Amino acid sequence: MEKEKTATTAGGQPADTATGRKPVVKRVLMVVAMLLTAFHLFASFLWIAPASALRQVIPGNLLSEYMIPLWGQSWSVFAPEPINGDYFFDVRAVVRTPEGAEEITQWVRASAVELDHSTYRPFPPRSAGLAIGVASDLKGSWEKLSDDHKAIVNLDYFKGEDSVDRLKAKMQEYGDPEGVINGYLQDEHKASAYATQVAKAIWGDDVVRVQYQASRQNVVPFGQRNERGAKRPPVQVVPTGWRALTYEEHQSDEEFAKYFCASDEVRCESEQ
């Protein structure tokens, strides 16, 4: 039986190869890949470069939604204003004992537990910086408050389902000319929800209420880095009172506990 013959050119190559023809699908994939690469390079340039009107070329929030959290970069890692401090987030709770009494736990540095999930790991989980992000946002919005507002958030608001409403109403009694109260309360809500998950992961379902502290400590100033006995500046603490347990829709306390308690930096009583 004769083999089926393939059309060839004078050089002995298949006709399709010799003429350079490629399947349409390959051409389409190449064009798509080139367009995606071009968009990524352009978006990265806009994101890394100092903010300007050029960013408006990409409509809406598409640029930030694309760059965060996978590709996010900023000038904060470069001179002349590199990152010059560490953020911490500490959590403690009131738990109900088997006898019905209430006990206050020790402080747990949740940010250290989170960082343990990324230390010496080439592919850390995206959540490893969650505590630092919560602390940074809370401190930033707290600093915008007046002294009267700061004194109020340092009080306890945990009784009843209207504790947040009562806190907001009390803060508004001292005015809000700069419009900063709502922004602070949003960041406090996130901090309360995160602290609730941390507390329940560590101490279980007997947690009654939580308290947390966001803080920052700057590094030794660059000009003093070689001085003998140079010490880091004091820790800047954001004091807040006790807060009611706070829950976000679709959050899973069980999955969070599995992730959080996998660190050697914490001893979870809830898993014993």
Q: What confidence tens digit (pLDDT) does each residue in 20-73 have?
A: 556 888 889 999 999 999 999 998 888 888 778 888 888 888 888 888 767 766
What count of residues does the chain have?
272
Overall pTM > 0.85: no
pLDDT for res 206: 94
**The tokens of 193 are what?**
């929800």
Measured CA distances, 10 to 15, 20, 63 (Å)? 9, 15, 53
pLDDT, tens digit (0-9, with 9 covering 90-100), for 95-141 = 999 998 999 999 999 999 988 888 887 777 777 788 999 999 999 99
**The tokens of 14 are what?**
């298949």
pLDDT for res 122: 77
pLDDT, tens digit (0-9, with 9 covering 90-100), for 153-204 = 999 999 999 999 999 999 999 999 989 999 999 999 999 999 999 999 999 9
Q: How far apart are CA 79 and CA 26, in angstroms?
A: 44
